[in-house]
Structure 1
Amino acid sequence: MRFQDNWFQILQTTFMQHALVGGSLVAVTAGLMGYFVITRQNAFAAHALAHIGFPGATGAILVGAPVTLGLAVFCVGGGLLIGLFGKRVAEREIATGSILAFSTGLGVLFASLATANASTTTNVLFGNLLAISVDQLWLFGGFTLLVVAALAVIARPLVFASVDPAVAEARGVPVRALGVAFIVLLALTVTMAVQVVGTLLLFALVVTPAAAALRLTARPGAVAALAVAFAMSSVWVGLVLSAMVNLPPSFFVTSVAVLVWVVVLLATRDRGRRLPTPTHGGHDRVPAVPEHTR
């Protein structure tokens, strides 16, 4: 590790500009989805989807296809299976674990056959923000628009279905369909995030910023805005630090995200706030659920 005097010039290079734009797009989608990941108790599913995408990435490497395409196919396919097989939390975890186990084994097989591309496989595991291409930026932009547009349509009923699924279903909200739609959007977010921080560090952008935001407010809109701000700050600061000392940006992105969470946790430790997890049969739920969605 060494300090680079020309770090500002490094930030102006093409690959750094691509990293900044790509990381920002991922931060937007990850921040928006993070609230629902935590509220719906889907943190394990988010982590599993990254590993489910691993055989897609290694398979794409094996056949010479784009890595993003392989990730997207396996993440979305795995997400659909999880959404269809797991209606309740317990059922969803069983389905997720089973699909995860099979996908991991498949990923090991593909990785062993693609030994000539070991560096690319490593990038899938740990991310390589500095290797984002122009084609990937266009794809990330399309994914981001799709996620934002879909959330604009389903956000209100999805909040209701996430906070109290039993009551939402009783009032005619299509809880199962919303769950499948959410898991597909999460799969697209994971597809992008894996290429920024990698399979093993995914939580840094998808869960940690939203967890920090939830310590400050329980209003869904405010949580989403704060989570996007925290995730984007983590990407930007991580890239600057990476340019300064010539180390992988994934380490700094995850470190900044966790540091923000720790600072917020310490600052709010006396407030007695609780995460807005769904309750069944009680009245302790997020106060900001829009009345017209009930």
Structure 2
Amino acid sequence: MMLGLEYGFMRHALVAGSAIAVLSAAVGYFITLRRQAFAAHALSHVGFTGAAGAILLGLSPYLGLFAFTLASGVALALTGGRLRQRDIGIGMVLMFALGLGVLFLNLYTANAQSAMSILFGSIVGITGGQALLSVLVCVAGLAALALLYRPLCFASFNPEGAQARGVNTRRLDVLFILLVAATVAIAVPVIGALLIFALLIGPAATAQTLSRSVASGLGLSVALGLGVTWGGLAAAYYIGFPASTWIASLSFGSYLIGHAWRAWRRGSAQIGVEHGTPV
């Protein structure tokens, strides 16, 4: 059977991976548009600290992951100013959070493997309950993104103009970073905190090099997210090696191909201009 769907763990991986790929690619498109990739990266690592802290307290690492990620998202949004202008502050918080994570793991190593899986992900270790949760979060996240779509587009391209037209950009920032935090929290157990860019940023960045409108770019980003996820699962099943490795490699490969195609198009257009023939 294709992709080993006769096995429950592969069905769970496909359902959870697909849901997370769709939400990550859609939210990631606006993350790249708003130049907030570093903030999203920081949230994933803060989530690792939350998971390690929960293990130390004898709680579920996923509870700590969600709690720390969402709380940190709110804190980032409420500190004032634009996230894209606070890289140094975000970097310092990231450093401190990772230091705490290492401390928590050293204080309690009996179940350190659970926290390590947060770092690198385990898509084939997803349970039926986690797969269902992924689908529910995906549906809720896409619904929230649809509600925020128009003001988010306006504020992403022209924040000053959006504010002048009555858009509450402060509230929009809070709502969007909460959406980012929820996306990161649900994606980390699958792809891992260290490789989350493979689904959150890779497809979106590639789509932005190939599309000229937000709607088409958003659709292409989702299609690429699904493509690298399905391709990664297929490669892991038929060839071997971790699925996260394949997903990250395919995401990077598509990004390189996208930039190569864009460079070729620019070169062709330039040659056409020089010879007086439209391309």
The two structures share one fold, judged by TM-score above 0.5: yes
**Alpha-carbon separation, structure 2, partners of 1:69 and 1:212:** 32
Q: What does residue range 156-195 of structure 1 map to in structure 2 within 5 Å? A: 156-195=150-189
Larger helix proportion of the pair: 2
For 1:175, the aligned partner's letter is: T
Instruction: State the secondary structure of the residue aligned to 2:228.
Output: helix
| Poorly superposed stretches of 4+, deviation over 3 Å | 7-11, 89-92, 270-273
Instruction: State the secondary structure of the residue aligned to 1:269.
Output: helix
Task: Select which of 63, 66, 72 maps to 1:69.
Answer: 63
Contact 2:134–2:186 under 8 Å retained in 1: yes
Q: What does residue range 171-250 of structure 1 map to in structure 2 within 5 Å? A: 171-250=165-244
Equivalent residue, structure 1, for 2:22: 28
Tell me the CA shift for residue 155 of structure 1: 0.7
Tell me the CA shift for residue 178 of structure 1: 0.5
Contact 2:16–2:126 under 8 Å retained in 1: yes
In structure 2, do the counterparts of structure 1 residues 90 and 143 end up closer, same or farther at CA, with 3 Å as the change threshold?
closer
**Alpha-carbon separation, structure 1, partners of 2:240 and 2:6:** 15
**Alpha-carbon separation, structure 2, partners of 1:9 and 1:263:** 26
Percent identity, aligned pairs only? 42
Q: Does 1:37 align with 2:31?
A: yes
In structure 2, do the counterparts of structure 1 residues 9 and 173 end up closer, same or farther at CA, with 3 Å as the change threshold?
closer
Equivalent residue, structure 2, for 1:153: 147
Tell me the CA shift for residue 246 of structure 1: 2.8
For 2:249, the aligned partner's letter is: S
Where does the alignment leave 5 or more consecutive residues of structure 2 unmatched? 268-279
**Alpha-carbon separation, structure 2, partners of 1:250 and 1:90:** 28
Task: Tell which deviates more after alignment, 140-149 or 88-97.
Answer: 88-97
Per-residue CA deviation, residues 249-271 of structure 1 (Å, 9 max, x unaligned), is 00001111111111111111144
Task: Provide TM-score, normalisation by structure 1.
Answer: 0.86
**Alpha-carbon separation, structure 1, partners of 2:216 and 2:60:** 36
Task: Select which of 49, 59, 77 maps to 1:83.
Answer: 77
Instruction: State the secondary structure of the residue aligned to 1:246.
Output: coil
Equivalent residue, structure 1, for 2:87: 93
Equivalent residue, structure 2, for 1:139: 133
Contact 1:204–1:254 under 8 Å retained in 2: yes
For 2:135, the aligned partner's letter is: G
Contact 2:3–2:10 under 8 Å retained in 1: no
Per-residue CA deviation, residues 150-207 of structure 1 (Å, 9 max, x unaligned), is 1111110011111111111111111111111110100111112211111111111000
Equivalent residue, structure 1, for 2:250: 256
**Alpha-carbon separation, structure 1, partners of 2:114 and 2:77:** 30
Where does the alignment leave 5 or more consecutive residues of structure 1 unmatched? 1-6, 274-294
Instruction: State the secondary structure of the residue aligned to 1:215.
Output: helix
**Alpha-carbon separation, structure 2, partners of 1:9 and 1:80:** 39
- Cα RMSD of the aligned pairs, angstroms, is 1.8
Q: Does 1:265 align with 2:259?
A: yes
Number of aligned positions between the proteins: 267
Instruction: State the secondary structure of the residue aligned to 1:41.
Output: coil
Contact 1:85–1:95 under 8 Å retained in 2: no
For 1:184, the aligned partner's letter is: L
Q: Does 1:12 align with 2:6?
A: yes
**Alpha-carbon separation, structure 2, partners of 1:89 and 1:45:** 7
